[in-house]
Structure 1
Amino acid sequence: MITSIAHATIYVLNQEEALDFYQNKLGFEVGDDMKVEGGFRWLTVHPKSKPQLQLVLAEPKEGPMFSKDAAEKIRNLITEGAFGAGVFETENCHRTYEELVAKGVEFIQPPTKQLYGVEAMAIDNSGNWFSLVER
């Protein structure tokens, strides 16, 4: 029986730049950072309070998972902002919004009252959007 999800993938344009964003702007911690032969890098981050939820910061590259054409298509979709990185929860959306704006995080929607709580929308430095939600 499956009991939880351990990893979710966020495709990024540059792992080093994405690591800087998720670690230094969002305050996530590094879970794993391993380089394997052939240039593959297994890089995960997680919220400090949830080390069991690892976000894989993966660059789409030609290799075992993607053809050269498929990797290029995914990179183009990332650039166009076609992917969402998920929903990040916070206890106080307005306060977290102000903290992240001060760190240079770009928001496409300020905190707004919704049926389910308060939500702000931001984008990471690859172009992936994510929700910041206070329930």
Structure 2
Amino acid sequence: MNISLQYSQITVNDLDESLAFYRDALGLEVRNDVGSDGQRWVTLGSASQPDLELVLSEPHAGRSKDDGDALQVLLTKGVLPVIVFRTDNVDATFEHLRAAGAEVLQEPIDQPWGPRDCAFRDPSGNHVRFNQKS
């Protein structure tokens, strides 16, 4: 049996604003932009991982009003799961994202458990980290 990750969900407040971060600043490519019943989902990916896509959607997309409202509260608090990307040069990635106007949470540091990393918030407040193996 061979199992691999195909999609990972990122909940955002505004898809177009989030595309400025994930597509324009990070360089991910839009693979699909789909609308249905007044909702929209955008999938993005990287050439280095062609079989993995990130799905951006707003809290109420495909969910009940109550579930969407609950997810919106968590997003607003900034307590949704951390998103971690791997990069071959964390310092260059940091400078690129800072120059693009991303909110810095942590400048690059060498972590005691191994990687050099840094952290930002995306436009919706999601905690996004970038790791470089030492």
In structure 2, distance between residues paired with 1:26 and 1:85: 16
Contact preservation (8 Å) 2:28, 2:45: yes
Secondary structure of the residue aligned to 2:124 is coil
Q: Which amino acid aligns with 2:39?
A: F
Letter in 1 for 2:117: E
Could you say what the CA RMSD is over the residues aligned between the two structures, in angstroms? 1.5
Matched-pair contact (CA < 8 Å) for 2:78–2:126:
yes
How many pairs does the alignment contain? 132
Question: What is the Cα deviation at residue 73 of structure 1?
Answer: 1.6
Contact 1:25 1:104 in 2 (8 A): no
CA separation of 1:40/1:2 partners in 2, compared to 1, >3 Å: closer, same or farther?
farther
Any conservation in 2 of the 1:27–1:48 contact (CA below 8 Å)?
A: no
Please state how far the C-alpha of 1:48 moved relative to its aligned partner.
Answer: 3.5
**Correspondence 1:80 to 2:99:** no
TM-score (norm 2): 0.90
For structure 1, which runs of at least 5 residues remain unmatched after alignment? none
Question: Deviation per CA, 1:36-77, whole angstroms, max 9, x where unpaired?
Answer: 2x1132310112322211000011217xx4321221121121
Extract structure 1 runs of 4+ deviating beyond 3 A: none
Task: Name structure 2 gaps, 5 residues minimum.
Answer: none
Give how far 1:84 is off.
Answer: 3.1
| Identity among equivalent pairs (%) | 36
The 8 Å contact of residues 93 and 119 in structure 1, kept in 2 or not, is answered as yes
- TM-score for both structures, normalised by structure 1: 0.89
